Amino acid sequence: MKLDSKPEPIEVDFARSAIVVVDMQNAFVNKGGTLDLAGVDLSDAARVVRVIRAVLDAARAAGVAIVYLQVGYKPDLSNAGGPRSPNYYKETAMHLMCTRSELKGKLLTEGSWDFAVVDELAPRPADIVVTKTRYSGFAGTTLDSQLRVRGIQYLFFTGIATNVCVESTLRDSYFLDYWPILLADATMAAGDRSVYEASLFNVESFFGWTLKSEQLQSSLLEYSGGVARVDG
């Protein structure tokens, strides 16, 4: 099926595609979470949740695979990299925990509220869920092998933040010869509009394609008319 993407149309095979939901956790969506504590404007987060929910509904109806990426650390932070790793100082939650002792071990800790995927987008049993400890979903995880064993080649990216974990994972997917398509209205940047637009420029110019979520939903609806529905 050919999609009206930017900077040019791209032909995809939905049977070999997946929707990638990047870090749609309380930490990055809700007040009191990591991004809120870091001073990031979350006013657009609720809209992004609604858009992603509609995309997931359409994808599930069409039997398209769904992958959740979820960043999180063990309570003792043993998988955060330690003081010799730049991740220990630069990743948002780690930076907050290093500079505010009262937060240590509380942000993005596995099993915590901050770590959990928001209720509106909770994964279903058939979905792939990959926990990561770095910005990219491919860094030190089983994501690549899980996609390849399923024959997946085309990845539609959604999530928060456009310019950090979404773009990092998208770039790595390009290097690994996946076909990355960013759903432009299904993401939110950590920063102002210019930061978001810079990510779109990078994707369209160098790493992949961008597409509006409504266009994808319309194509999935057309596609689902010819395949059996798969419920998760």
Number of Cβ within a 10 Å radius of residue 115: 21
Q: Which helix (H) or strand (E) holds 2?
A: strand 2-3
The helix/strand/coil state of 68 is strand
Dist. CA 86–CA 200, nearest whole Å: 26
**Count of helices and strands (H, E) across the chain:** 9, 8
Dist. CA 67–CA 152, nearest whole Å: 11
Q: Would you name the residues annotated as active-site residues? A: 23, 132, 165
